[in-house]
Amino acid sequence: MTAPRPTPTAEPLLQVRDLRVAFRRRGEPDTLAVDGVSFDVAPGQVVGLVGESGCGKSVTSMAIMRLLPRRGVQITGSVKMDGEELLTLSEAKMRERRGRDLSMVFQDPLSSLNPVVPIGLQITEVLRRHRGMDKEKARQAAVDLLDRVGIPDPRRRVTAYPHQLSGGMRQRVMIAIALACRPRLLIADEPTTALDVTIQAQILELLKEMVAETGAALIMITHDLGVVAGLCETVNVLYGGRIVERAQRHRLFGTPRHPYTHGLLRSIPRLDAAAGEQLEAIPGSVVDNLPWAHACAFQPRCPRSVDRCVEVTPEAENTGGRLLRCFNPVPASAE
Amino acid sequence: MDTDEATAAPHASVDGTGPLLDVRDVAVHFPIRRGLILDRTIGHVYAVDGVSLRIHRGETYGLVGESGCGKSTLGRAILRLEKPTFGEVWFDGRDIAPLKGEELRTMRRRFQMVFQDPMSSLDPRQSVEGMLMEGLKAHGLSRGPEADRARLRELVEQVGLPAAALRRYPHEFSGGQRQRIGIARALCVEPDLIVADEPVSALDVSVQAQVLNLLGRLQDELGLTYLVIAHDLAVVRHVSDRVGVMYLGGLVEEAPSQALYDEPLHPYTRALLSAIPVPDPELEDRRERILLTGDLPSPAAPPPGCRFHTRCPWRQPERCDTERPELRVVEGTVGGHRVACHYAEQIRSGTLQPHKVEPAVAEDVLGPGAVPDQPGSVTEILGR
Amino acid sequence: MTTTWAQRRKERIDDLAGGRSLTSEAMRRLRRDPVAIVGAVIVGLFVVIAVFAPLLAPHGAAESFPELQADLRPGNIPGAQEGFPLGGDQLGRDFLSRMILASQQTLLVGVLATLIGLAIGIVIGTLAGAFGGWIDTVLMRVTDVLLAIPSLLLAISVAALAASPSQTTVIIAVAIVGVPIFARLLRGSMLSQRNSDHVVAATALGVKRPAVVLRHMLPNAIGPVIVQATLTLATAILDAAALSFLGLGDADPGRAEWGLMLAQAQTYLDVRPALAFYPAFAIIVVALGFTLLGESLREALDPKGRR
């Protein structure tokens, strides 16, 4: 389904290095939501961040967008876009880049759209601020954008309020707003989780088309392995705030090496599986995690754990285009 | 909407040979009321609009559909948590649709429910022990403190929790553990039928399999009958013997689960199946996707004729727009494959090919503001 | 190090000491909240003083003292002196003793009025919220009417209806003011409980209707009402004081009551402002204490604050 995209060559568009986000709360130890995440996004590349709730995938995106509250949050590491550090940028400069250079689509479009402003106005606002269009021009551009994202009868719909649209339509509007200024990086945080499958298919298709058309890079954040399988070139699997495995999608899904990735793929019921196949559940839940500082966080749930897993923190090692954080990975031939 | 088979068959017999559950032409319509002092009914939400299905003993029946299709409402109508507007619900040879009061309450022992959200479905102020004891006491199953304690311990162990869990409160558990408690609560009254409404969709991916495997094991051990309601076809296919697909209040297709996936006949089922992402890049790249245009029409103003005709890529003029197709067995298919489509044979043989559909703007019969243009679900319309 | 981590995890899972209810969690949070502590200290002090007032007060409320009356003439009220730290009042009685004894009246009126209002409000709110239909409509229209009247005006009307003003009429009047507030609030949260999953689950389990209402709906709905009760206690004290101030309370001039004292002091405001200041200050501090406690209770019971 995906058209092969130009292989990224030169400078990365976005460079995330050793990103850590700690939430502090009075009278309690810090919670490390993101614990040293590093990855690159090349221009026009589609990168997936996959993991379950609490793995830090959403916090990572919020940190990149600088949307986390200042109080009670400590962010360290580096996020560079075109070589410029975003984490230390002034609030005014960051606001200018947000929407113009990088923008975001959220899971719940209803709560991220302003409920009392017509959708057309919400788009023209962005266009006028970042692209300096006059009122008439911006209005025409908004209608074109709505038409482009597949909203029927866009001329009538510009005056509609978010609650008058269905979930799928709202998400289309969000995508239109996010892409209004042709950003070079789009972050989509669970954009289809709140939607039905048939609508999800429409939105994924639209996202694919839109990034291909505008040449924007896309970071797709999701818990759904199926969604990334058809969409992302490179897939990062997160667990407990760290990337445990990263590979090109065919390799990752073909031969998952980390026990977590491997276990996850075997534990989900699949449409294409043979009938009566037993699911191999991963025991326990994320509350069983060990802290990365002392051990492998996944160890208590891991079927392949060895003694070292509770003694030393496994480092991320890059072998043959695959990043792996495990002492005892699943053999490549096991599949 | 009865099929020949359903009308011809005698009422499910009490001797345990007939189907455990026989749902006959059930409908649930919610009135939409407006008005300050006197509530005027200004319309109805046709959440479930004439569904017939049968579930046999020991079987798992899967009900799939997207939000707003009425699958949850149907589940609740079967459990008599919602009163059917019309239709009959025969449970083990007895129509439970007209039951009420004490008669209904005692009957509840035999059909139980597992909820989607394991947190909100457990009373936060009740310990696990209190919750399970309540079930025992409600149906006179309490056999004295000693026997009860043994029974409760057996129950929690059955769902894979330590006996220490009994003293704990819901907020002290993880999501997967809470769902196990929800299952233990359903089991404590020794029911015959369990209706599980989205039993895993609120859980983390890595935990879903634990709960699905648990449900499977319990069925083997206790001989339970399941009605599993879910939006996720992969989950439903995995657990079910037979699957029914719902669209806008009606059943559009019903078949043994393998047959449904091997050869979906209804255009909606085909679209639904092709829309589900599969975690296999090779397959994803090869797949032919049937993208539906537009959204689900409002269940308050269902389109005439075939409910799916506004989005159907195989729609034919006249008949699809005017005549509602009945659920009927298609000749030459496996295991009583039933489809509600006028052109199922032609679509199957390939003589009819899909065409492009312009997305229709759903029409609002109730005037602006009364109902969102295309509401996500029945609950959304009713504002519950 | 590593074994301790693994060990601790395992202990957490099999912990036999687990089983902390929501109420005990809320108490734990309350104990760590400085606002709650301040509120609790004020309220605690007030209650202790009120309960032991007869022992704490050096003199009686109606007792007049010659040494305080010696100087008593228009334009002068004796101030602090040996044995009378706050001096005397306009009738030559010990002001400190009257302040202390008055706390008892205030506590009695405030708490009793709030409890009566709460009890009636809970019954009405439960009936309306649990059954709905015409019961709900009738009950809510009545409370709407009561709510439409400003609280003090309502209290005054009720108190004025009584044949002769007395302590009891004040309590009843203040209690009636609270009823519609509690009833409305409880009905609202009962209604949201009615459609909540765990109530549906209890119904599906076959639990009898009265048990569902009393065991599952009411305990989960009552939190905001309890919070409101502590807040209402503060206004009840103020309302009771206002009624006494307006002469709608017990007419006995010898009785010590902050509102009454405040009313009587207004004549002497230019002579000795302290006579008005102390009762007013006491009313404000006690009301504040209950408000702080109520606010922190609201926060502690808030499910969003749970971890």
- Position with higher pLDDT, A276 vs B126: B126
Q: What is the mean pLDDT of chain A?
A: 87
Q: Mean of the pLDDT values across residues B151-172?
A: 91
Q: What is the CATH number of the domain that holds B132?
A: 3.40.50.300
Q: Is the pLDDT of residue B308 over 80?
A: yes
C-alpha pair distances (Å), B1 with each of B6, B50, B53, C281: 10, 6, 10, 76
Q: Is A248 helix (H, G, I), strand (E, B) or coil?
A: strand
Q: Which of C197, C207, C218, C226 should be substituted to probe chain B, the one whose Cβ sees the most B Cβ atoms within 10 Å?
A: C197
- Position with higher pLDDT, C237 vs B174: B174
Residue from the list B271, B280, B360 with its beta carbon closest to the beta carbon of A229? B280
Residue of C nearest to B173 (CA): C13
How many domains does chain B divide into?
1
CB C124 within 8 A of CB C139: yes
Please, which pLDDT band fits residue A110 given cuts at 50, 70 and 90? confident
pLDDT attached to residue B38: 64
Taking CB atoms and an 8 Å cut-off, how many pairs form between chains B and C? 87
Instruction: Tell me which residue of B18, B104, B4 sits closest to B54, measured CA to CA.
Output: B18
Q: Is C149 helix (H, G, I), strand (E, B) or coil?
A: coil
Q: Is the pLDDT of residue C288 over 90?
A: no
Distance CA A98, CA A181 (A): 10
pLDDT in tens, C135-170: 888 888 888 888 888 878 888 888 888 777 778 888
Q: Mean of the pLDDT values across residues C75-80?
A: 68
pLDDT attached to residue A249: 92
Residues of C in contact with A290 (CB under 8 A): 5-6, 9
Are the beta carbons of A265 and B277 separated by less than 8 Å?
A: no
Size (chain A), residues: 335
Please, which pLDDT band fits residue C19 given cuts at 50, 70 and 90? low
CA B175 centroid distance within chain: 22
Residue from the list C2, C13, C32 with its beta carbon closest to the beta carbon of A295? C2
Three-class SS string for C174-204?
A: HHHHHHHHHHHHHHHHHHHHHCCHHHHHHHH
Q: Mean of the pLDDT values across residues A121-125?
A: 89
Are the beta carbons of C19 and B122 separated by less than 8 Å?
A: no
Q: Is the pLDDT of residue B383 over 60?
A: no
Residue from the list C2, C13, C32 with its beta carbon closest to the beta carbon of A310? C2
pLDDT in tens, C82-141: 777 777 777 778 888 888 888 888 888 888 899 999 999 999 999 998 887 888 888 888
Q: Mean of the pLDDT values across residues B319-331?
A: 90
Please, which pLDDT band fits residue A27 given cuts at 50, 70 and 90? low
Distance CA B291, CA B293 (A): 6
Are the beta carbons of A295 and C3 separated by less than 8 Å?
A: no
Give the distance from residue C19's alpha carbon to the nearest chain A alpha carbon, in angstroms: 17
For the four alpha carbons of A251, A255, A259 and A261, in that order, the dihedral sign comes to positive
Are the beta carbons of A300 and C1 separated by less than 8 Å?
A: no
pLDDT attached to residue B372: 39
Give the distance from residue A111's alpha carbon to the nearest chain C alpha carbon, in angstroms: 18
Q: Is the pLDDT of residue C50 over 60?
A: yes
Are the beta carbons of C19 and B182 separated by less than 8 Å?
A: no
Distance CA A155, CA A273 (A): 45
* Residue B329, beta-bridge partner list: B338
CB B242 within 8 A of CB B257: yes
Please, which pLDDT band fits residue C18 given cuts at 50, 70 and 90? low
CB B52 within 8 A of CB B2: yes
Are the beta carbons of B361 and A249 separated by less than 8 Å?
A: no
Q: Where are the domains of chain C?
A: 87-302
Best-predicted range by mean pLDDT (A209-213, B370-374, C53-57, C155-159): A209-213
Q: Mean of the pLDDT values across residues C257-282?
A: 81
pLDDT attached to residue A324: 93
Residue from the list C196, C203, C215 with its beta carbon closest to the beta carbon of B120? C196
Answer yes or no: is B152 within a domain.
Answer: yes
Tokens of A174: 């969000």
Instruction: Tell me which residue of C85, C58, C115, C42 sits closest to C283, measured CA to CA.
Output: C42
Q: Is the pLDDT of residue C57 over 90?
A: no
Instruction: Tell me which residue of C151, C117, C155 sits closest to C246, measured CA to CA.
Output: C155
Give the distance from residue B122's alpha carbon to the nearest chain C alpha carbon, in angstroms: 5
Give the structural domain span for B201. 100-240
Rounded to 5 degrees, φ, ψ at B60 are: -115, 120
Q: Is the pLDDT of residue C249 over 90?
A: no
> In whole angstroms, how large is the CA radius of gyration of chain B?
22
* Terminal Cα-to-Cα distance of chain C (whole angstroms): 26
C38 C-beta neighbours (distance < 10 Å), count: 15
B146 C-beta neighbours (distance < 10 Å), count: 8
Are the beta carbons of A164 and B235 separated by less than 8 Å?
A: no
Q: Mean of the pLDDT values across residues C30-52?
A: 88
Q: What is the DSSP string of B16-51?
A: S-S-SEEEEEEEEEEEEEE-SSSPEEEEEEEEEEEE
Residue of A nearest to C3 (CA): A310
pLDDT in tens, A126-165: 888 888 888 888 899 999 889 888 888 888 888 888 888 8
Asked which of A2-6, B235-239, C254-258 is least confident by mean pLDDT, the reply is A2-6
What does DSSP assign to residue B256? E
pLDDT attached to residue C6: 46
C-alpha pair distances (Å), B12 with each of A322, B4, B91, B226: 60, 15, 8, 18
What does DSSP assign to residue C249? S
Answer yes or no: is B86 within a domain.
Answer: no
CB C208 within 8 A of CB B105: yes
Q: Is the pLDDT of residue B34 over 80?
A: no
Tokens of B361: 């703007």
Distance CA B30, CA A119 (A): 31
Q: Is the pLDDT of residue B96 over 50?
A: yes
Residues of C in contact with B99 (CB under 8 A): none
Residue from the list A169, A253, A275 with its beta carbon closest to the beta carbon of B279? A253
Are the beta carbons of B209 and A282 separated by less than 8 Å?
A: yes
CATH of C87-302, one of 3.40.50.970, 2.60.120.200, 4.10.520.10, 1.10.3720.10: 1.10.3720.10
Looking up tokens 């310990």 gives B127
Asked which of A228-232, C62-66, C210-214 is least confident by mean pLDDT, the reply is C62-66
pLDDT attached to residue A47: 95
pLDDT attached to residue C231: 79
Please, which pLDDT band fits residue C241 given cuts at 50, 70 and 90? confident
Asked which of B55-59, B239-243, B319-323, C53-57 is least confident by mean pLDDT, the reply is C53-57
Q: Is A174 helix (H, G, I), strand (E, B) or coil?
A: helix
